[in-house]
Structure 1
Amino acid sequence: MKIGPYQLANNVFVAPMAGVTDRPFRQLCKQLGAGYAVSEMAASDPRLWASEKTARRINHEGEMEPKAVQIAGAEPAMLAECARFNVDRGAQIIDINMGCPVKKVCNSWCGSALLQDEKLVAEILEAVVNAVDVPVTLKFRTGWNRANKNALQIARIAEASGIAMLTLHGRTRADGYSGEAEYETIAAVKAAVSIPVVANGDITTPAKAKLVLKATGADAIMVGRAAQGRPWIFREIDHFLRTGDLLPAPLISEVSRLMDEHLRAHYAFYGEYLGVRTARKHIGWYVKNLPEGEAFRQKMNRLEDCEAQLAAVAEFFNSQISYGERLQYGLAEEKQAA
């Protein structure tokens, strides 16, 4: 699959998630089989570009190509300037966010709130596409609410505006992340346009990825929350789509090594004080549903320095070997059910 001139390794992508898909995590996902990843959402307001938070979100130093930055805003001219700003700093693909359902974002008339104004959507897409000489993509939802689903209209506007690829989350803004994603609308969009379409929403296993691709006819799938604490899900899905075979759970020794590498990259990216604190959620996701994982998470959250955190994680995974050489999610789930 290609986005503009960029040939991707496969059609299994990482979804942009605020507070999750920072550069260290994106890089790890790519190393573990993701064919493409997009940055966290970066604000289009130029007053925020110099902030430490935004600077980190658009930092792609040393990242595997193509380097994609997601931008969010409601003013066409401001978004166009933001796109130019990021391309000047190395972005090779610009993604426009019209999918975020969070109230803070929608109250500023950004994210999925824009789906209520198709004229403004067209103005934004045309302004950004005309502002840069790199591919521009769009991530959006099926509509504002279930009574107002306009994904087909938005998709046609996007194609006419020169958008290179569409990613559609199978929920409305009102749905948030609740309930189950629906894929009929994604299938309808895929049938209506000639540009690549990516299916997003509730893709949690290799089998589900295959089912969604078949149900929607989409060119690719995008994995979000299921990758939290499980970045190897991309190679699992890619392998299953290519061969029909399921990979075994990863070796504990491999996961321990990957976590050590991830945490060290995370600390280097954020600095020790912020790094230790922001790493806690990642560690919590890694150990979730593992034997004694919840007790370890509570203990680990009280640690205040990098070396103590690294040592605790290494000790935890060393203890997991008593359950077998591979991760044992099932043991913890069985214990919870009992």
Structure 2
Amino acid sequence: MVKIGQIELGSFPLLLAPMEDVSDPPFRAVCKSNGADLMYSEFISSEGLIRDAIKSRAKLDIFEYERPVGIQIFGGDEEPLAMAAQIVEAVNPDLLDINFGCPVKKVTCKGAGAGILKDIPKMVKLTAAVVKATRLPVTVKTRLGWDDDSKNIEEVAERLQDVGIQALTIHGRTRTQMYKGTADWTLIGKVKNNPRIHIPVFGNGDITIPEQALDARERYGVDGVMIGRAAIGYPWIFREIKHFMATGEHLPPPTVEERVAICKEHLQKSVAWKGSVVGVLEMRRHYTNYLKGLPHIKDFRARLVTASAQDAIEAILDEVVFHYRDYLFERSATLPTIQDVLSSGAQATGCNVYG
């Protein structure tokens, strides 16, 4: 049983990654219903929380059906991070995560996110301040290092554990890689198998199919995997991984009816949480992924991203179901393990491979 503090997550939990403009409550809801074991909010600026910024505060919304759920914060200064931790504690999530992995320039240039990887003593100091400021279990998500010459994740893991974090998620790329190239799971495995490390270690990067999740467990020994881009428009990835790891067999890909049903649910929850205007607008980024693999879908997709009313969108989705009612999705003929990806040198896209 994998545990973070007193939170029990099962024998090999699947985590939904905190993704900016994606991992909001509506998206988390459809991932939860399809098997995600632990989910995180979008990352929240510590400075924004302290200033009472509306967008930052909205990201604190969590619902009982999501539990266990964590709130993720980021920042480059000790006092704002500690204050943000106290604000987060007031909304009663199950845990608090610190983002030390975001590679975006506007974050790193302020010494936050992956920017802190240039200053490990400061990273440790910031983490200790957050641990001290809250009663919540504190976890960290980070990367292997800033660049190929500073892959210091083994040292980082030990030092962060020493100041009190209760789990660590490692994205197997450096900051300079951004999301390009392939994730290096070898270093993730070294951290997990370090005899000094006794907290759960979760791996992140290039998990797009069940075989890769199994490979992560069997080859590298991680306690679970975090899935990000592969879940966008394809929340079924969680249930497919679980079924494959339990039985060695694949579930059939979701049908057109299933895809549209979940897309509608996502839309309905988006409108309920964000309102009829913003809820519709922000769903537009998801249709391409939900309908990925359907031939000649361009015209339907164009109509979906220009419609402005929920009922009109749902009517178009019903047309999709009728038009493609006999279409059968096929599984990709090639299902590589993580090792296959590393050996080939192929660039990971993070997209689902079904259809």
TM-score range, shorter chain: over 0.9
**Alignment check: 8 A CA contact 1:38 1:68 kept:** yes
**Alignment check: 8 A CA contact 1:200 1:222 kept:** yes
Which whole-Å deviations, capped at 9, do the CAs of 1:219-263 have from their partners, x for residues lacking one? 000111000100010000011112211111123322222221111
**Counterpart for residue 3 of structure 2:** 2
What are the residue-to-residue correspondences of 1:28-43 with 2, within 5 Å?
Answer: 28-43=30-45
What are the residue-to-residue correspondences of 1:213-292 with 2, within 5 Å?
Answer: 213-292=217-296
Q: Does structure 1 residue 189 correspond to structure 2 residue 164?
A: no
**Counterpart for residue 16 of structure 1:** 18
Q: Distance in 2 between matches of 1:243 and 1:301?
A: 39
Which whole-Å deviations, capped at 9, do the CAs of 1:281-311 have from their partners, x for residues lacking one? 1112111222223332223222122221121
Helix, strand or coil: the match of 2:162?
Answer: helix
- Shift of the alpha carbon at 1:132? 0.9
Please tell me the residue identity of whatever aligns with 2:180. S
**Alignment check: 8 A CA contact 1:11 1:35 kept:** yes
Q: Distance in 1 between matches of 2:50 and 2:134?
A: 21
Taking structure 1 as reference, are residues 314 and 50 closer, same or farther at Cα in structure 2, changes over 3 Å only? farther
**Counterpart for residue 128 of structure 1:** 130
**Counterpart for residue 301 of structure 1:** 305
TM-score normalised to structure 1 length: 0.93
For structure 2, the residue ranges without an aligned partner over 5 or more in a row are 333-355
- Given candidates 157, 160, 163, the residue that maps to 1:158 is 160
Helix, strand or coil: the match of 2:43?
Answer: strand
Helix, strand or coil: the match of 1:322?
Answer: coil
Taking structure 1 as reference, are residues 308 and 263 closer, same or farther at Cα in structure 2, changes over 3 Å only? same
- Shift of the alpha carbon at 1:52? 2.8
- Shift of the alpha carbon at 1:280? 0.5
Please tell me the residue identity of whatever aligns with 2:84. C
What are the residue-to-residue correspondences of 1:22-171 with 2, within 5 Å?
Answer: 22-46=24-48, 50-171=52-173
Helix, strand or coil: the match of 2:142?
Answer: strand
**Alignment check: 8 A CA contact 1:291 1:320 kept:** no
- Shift of the alpha carbon at 1:329? 7.2
**Alignment check: 8 A CA contact 2:70 2:95 kept:** yes
Q: Which has the higher contact order (CA 8 A, sep 6+)?
A: 2
**Alignment check: 8 A CA contact 1:289 1:329 kept:** no
- Shift of the alpha carbon at 1:269? 1.1
- Shift of the alpha carbon at 1:48? 5.9
Which whole-Å deviations, capped at 9, do the CAs of 1:196-238 have from their partners, x for residues lacking one? 0000000000011111222221000011100010001000001
- Given candidates 205, 209, 214, the residue that maps to 1:210 is 214
For structure 1, the residue ranges without an aligned partner over 5 or more in a row are 331-338
Q: Distance in 1 between matches of 2:7 and 2:99?
A: 21
Q: Distance in 2 between matches of 1:38 and 1:60?
A: 10
Q: Distance in 1 between matches of 2:253 and 2:171?
A: 28
Q: Which range moves more in the overlay, 166-175 or 147-156?
A: 147-156
**Alignment check: 8 A CA contact 1:291 1:329 kept:** no
Which whole-Å deviations, capped at 9, do the CAs of 1:156-202 have from their partners, x for residues lacking one? 11110110000000000000000111111101111221110000000
**Counterpart for residue 338 of structure 2:** none
Q: Distance in 2 between matches of 1:46 and 1:104?
A: 14
**Percent identity for Structure 1 against Structure 2:** 37
Taking structure 1 as reference, are residues 74 and 201 closer, same or farther at Cα in structure 2, changes over 3 Å only? same
Q: Which range moves more in the overlay, 308-317 or 192-201?
A: 308-317
Q: Distance in 1 between matches of 2:264 and 2:306?
A: 19
Q: Distance in 2 between matches of 1:156 and 1:32?
A: 34
Q: Distance in 2 between matches of 1:71 and 1:16?
A: 10
**Alignment check: 8 A CA contact 2:69 2:94 kept:** yes
Cα root mean square deviation, aligned: 1.7
**Counterpart for residue 351 of structure 2:** none
Taking structure 1 as reference, are residues 86 and 63 closer, same or farther at Cα in structure 2, changes over 3 Å only? farther
Q: Which range moves more in the overlay, 234-243 or 283-292?
A: 283-292
- Shift of the alpha carbon at 1:97? 0.1
Q: Distance in 1 between matches of 2:278 and 2:295?
A: 28
Q: Distance in 2 between matches of 1:92 and 1:233?
A: 24
- Given candidates 321, 325, 329, the residue that maps to 1:321 is 325
Helix, strand or coil: the match of 1:266?
Answer: helix
